[in-house]
Amino acid sequence: MASVPLKVTLLTLHDCHLCDQARGVIGRLGRERPVVVEETAWDSAEGQLLVQRDGIPFAPAVYIDGSFFAYGRISEGALRRRLGKRDGARRWLPWHRLP
C-alpha cells in the first residue's frame, strides 16, 4: 500500500451520472490506499478557473496531486496505470511470471 496519501480533486456538477461513476472509481481506490478527495463545483470560481485553464468540455474532471488526469467517464484501469507510474511500480504481465 502507498504511504503517501493520494490527493484527488474531482470537478463535479449536480445530478451528474459520470460524476457518480468517478466517485465510485475513486472510492474503490480509497479502500486500497490513502486517498484525500476534494470536490470542487463546476460552477464555482475555482471550478471555472480549472475549466478555462485546462479546456475541460464537460464534467467530471479528475486531478491527481494537482495535475489534470481526465474528464468524462473515468477509466479505472487508466487511473491505476497512472498511479503505478506515480508510485514507481512495475506492471507485470502474466507471461513475465516464471513457471
**Does 99 fall in a domain?**
no
pLDDT in tens, 61-70: 999 999 999 9
**Does 42 fall in a domain?**
yes
**Does 59 fall in a domain?**
yes
Q: How many domains does the chain have?
A: 1
CB-based contact 42:11 (threshold 8 Å):
yes
What mean pLDDT, rounded, does the chain reach? 88
Decide: helix, strand or coil at residue 77: helix
End-to-end CA distance of the chain: 26
pLDDT of residue 30: 92
Distance CA 37, CA 19 (A): 13
Q: What is the pTM of this model?
A: 0.82
- Structural domain of residue 88, as residue ranges? 6-93
**Does 1 fall in a domain?**
no
**Does 31 fall in a domain?**
yes
pLDDT in tens, 15-47: 999 999 999 999 999 999 999 999 999 999 999
**Does 72 fall in a domain?**
yes
How would DSSP label each residue in 8-40? EEEEE-TT-HHHHHHHHHHHHHHTTS-EEEEEE
Give me the CATH number covering residue 73: 3.40.30.10
